Chains A and B, each alone.
Chain A
């Protein structure tokens, strides 16, 4: 559905700023019907990639095809396939909910009874049905997001692009939005690509892409990504991090020792070896350890693992998570 091939994007510099490479030869394919999440630290190139996918920005080189149509050469056909939910609300606050929805319908060439039936269909799942004649500025953040999603569904898109759609929502609204999205994806068989840095959201995704410094570092199912870190790991907090790190390196059974911020992590420990190792470490280094725990790897850990150890090929200054 989405075929990004060797896309490079360099922002032109100003008088005092040098040109900045945001995407470096990035290639990514999202298959039809997939729910993919694009994540990465701030400045990783997610937003640039998203703007390119929505056709608002032309890359320096490389091609983007949506459903087989070149996004820039065949823009109208490619755009007709997709619905976009932007990070900043794309609603007219002065218009009512239904006016916003109708306007969107007109943009996609819908009118008359077709538009009416599409509106019913699009509103089917939402909670805004009773607020249709209210101005958008009176809605809560969660409801406004629902209006955006409704708007996008009008044209029955085969591809839904969402840019951090749950930013600014409270946890309950976020969960409800996620559930809705998952249900729509399952029921309508749409392809969904969503950027997010909330890892709980990525757990339900078919595939997760992790970007950093304009490159794709990993693109796989959440399960496969987690298995990169082995089965379990030991996480240690200490107030003498440096000396403890030195001591732990010589411990038997400690193969992969890494430091993330103020934590030490022993990754990739064999399944049954975790508890004995933990007990042994605690016995020997009790005074250096503030807390110690066994942890199943989560996507966030994969993210740390993948992005924290990457050598920057672009020379951009990046805030490495590894001290």
Chain B
């Protein structure tokens, strides 16, 4: 029953998304243009040490995917604030529904939307010569799911108590943009100052990026024997669990008198 509730709520997110073509266009267009412009502009001067003949378009591609995933997922959570504002949320809260179903429905729906957009951008992968093996593609999908759930849940947990969409926008931009920039999406970690390298290490976004970048270049056995990949998988997985727990805690709290 609680699974059905979650599916119904996620389905609603999806229908709302599809009915707003400008939302679809905007969320795909931004990372695509970002990738094309930055990629083309930086390519001639991009010569990272020890990375061979990799073009910037190729280097930046997983970063662009991650950007789309992050921003689409997190900003889909703005609808939480709208739902509260417009009254829809109160009927959900007054229904005999497990609180986890609400989190799962909303986060699941938003993560699904983010994944869908990612899959569209994935069509461009072969153009920069990125063709993962079949097993690699499976792990790529796993990485995308783990990353989208984690960051969408973070957005949900933060959006839950807020009452202004512009406030949420501001908070998330301050929070997300630096995390993404310091993840290695824009420039490689190797050769960066030590403090920056340390920040990149504890940054969950950089681990999510590893989950997305590595499967393009290696097959399943290689990845599973690679300490860096396994660490990234563990950190990103833990991050997703923590963010879901945070969201659940937020939803479970009922305003109480003193």
Contact = CB atoms under 8 A, between A and B. Distances in A.
Interface in B15-36: 15-16, 19-20
Given A58-B255, A60-B257, A88 B97 contact: no
B80 to A, nearest CB: 13
A104 B96 CA distance: 11
A107 B256 contact: no
Contacts of B20: 94
Contacts of A12: 257-258
Interface string A1-33: 000000011111000000100100000000000
A86 B257 contact: no
On chain A, which size bracket covers the interface?
35 or more
Given A80-B96, A99-B15, A103-B12, A90 B91 contact: yes
12 contacts: A9-B257, A54-B90, A58-B254, A58-B255, A72-B254, A79-B94, A90-B88, A92-B12, A94-B19, A104-B91, A106-B4, A107-B5
B257 A90 contact: no
Nearest to B255: A57
Closest 9 CB pairs of A and B: A106-B8, A60-B257, A90-B91, A88-B87, A79-B96, A58-B256, A107-B95, A9-B257, A80-B96
Contacts of A169: none
B142 interface: no
Given A84-B91, A90-B90, A109 B256 contact: no
Contacts of B16: 92, 94-95
Identify which of A61, A103, A108 gathers the most chain B CB atoms within 10 Å of its CB: A103
Interface of B: 1, 4-5, 7-9, 12, 15-16, 19-20, 86-88, 90-98, 254-258
Contacts of A104: 91, 95
Given A88-B87, A90-B90, A94-B19, A19 B258 contact: yes
Interface string A73-95: 00111011010101011111111
A88 B89 CA distance: 11
Contacts of B93: 54-56
A109 B19 CA distance: 26
Given A57-B254, A88-B86, A106-B5, 19 more contacts: A9-B257, A10-B258, A19-B258, A55-B93, A56-B90, A72-B254, A79-B94, A79-B96, A86-B90, A89-B86, A89-B87, A92-B86, A95-B16, A102-B8, A103-B8, A103-B12, A107-B91, A107-B92, A108-B95
